[in-house]
Amino acid sequence: MGRIDQRIAVVTGAATGIGAATAKMFAEEGATVICADVNEAEIERTVSAIRDAGLRAEGHRLDVSSEEDVKRFAEQVRADHGRLDILFNNAGVDQEGGKLHEYPTELFDRIIATDLRGTFLVSKYLIPLMLDSGGSIINTTSMSASAGDLDRSGYNAAKGGVANMTKTMAIDYGRSGIRVNALAPGTIETPLVSDLAGSPEDDSGRQFREAQKWVTPMGRLGKPEEIAKVALFLASDDSSFVTGETILADGGVMAYTWPGKMLFEKGWKTN
């Protein structure tokens, strides 16, 4: 028997990266996985991969920033399944925008709409499906919720908001048997990272990944499957007394206060 056998799980942002890896892992552990993403073609690939393995999944196009889209989606989940046990609010976008006085308002609004408002909307309309029997909600935030990043005020604001909203949700629904936690990845090898920093084949992408050898104590980018394992822990009964927490999975980046010797110690960069 799997760790989440016979449970109904929704994963947003399930087309690629962390979302796709988590959807597959949830299915392998016994859940029926409802995969949602704004990218309809990519979400079908995720669903097909799960079904080809003889597991249970379905796909839905969903723009988490659209209240009407989310309402329709929640109504469909209710009609098809009648309940929800696990919600992984993973849909998100990121983009640099310059210093705050230069930052485009439309970019700020787009990131807030997807990362923060989207988490709010999906939770608002799906939580009623969890009230009778309880469940687990996992919100994807980021290590960037805990500290600032150069030229990324929109992303920092959105992810910081998700982390704090997670605590409020945990208090609101603790007596209803619903646990709510946040998962804060570091830099993970996903299509989003390749879009932002360059692919492993590009010069800029190779330079970026080389920099991780000293920025990250573990010396590398994380893998989507490594984050999926943390999501599975939070979704399962193994975390039955964990709620209102933000779980960092960042390879140790947030373990130090400043780089110190890491900036000039050759052994640190090359080991």
Residue position matching structure tokens 């879009």: 195
pLDDT per residue as tens, the chain (271 positions) = 699 999 999 999 999 999 999 999 999 999 999 999 999 999 999 999 999 999 999 999 999 999 999 999 999 999 999 999 999 999 999 999 999 999 999 999 999 999 999 999 999 999 999 999 999 999 999 999 999 999 999 999 999 999 999 999 999 999 999 999 999 999 888 877 777 667 777 777 777 777 777 788 998 889 999 999 999 999 999 999 999 999 999 999 999 888 777 777 777 666 6
Q: Nearest 10 degrees: CA dihedral of 28, 32, 34, 40?
A: 60
Question: Architecture of domain 8-199+222-258 in CATH?
Answer: 3-Layer(aba) Sandwich (3.40)
Q: Is the pTM of this model over 0.75?
A: yes
pLDDT at 269: 63
Sheet containing strand 135-140, edge to edge, reads: 57-61, 32-37, 8-12, 86-89, 135-140, 178-185, 246-249
Residues with active-site annotation: 155
End-to-end Cα distance, the chain = 41
Domain residues of the chain, as ranges? 8-199+222-258
pLDDT at 77: 98
Tokens matching residue 93: 């976008």
pLDDT at 192: 72
pLDDT at 271: 62
Residue position matching structure tokens 């996903």: 190
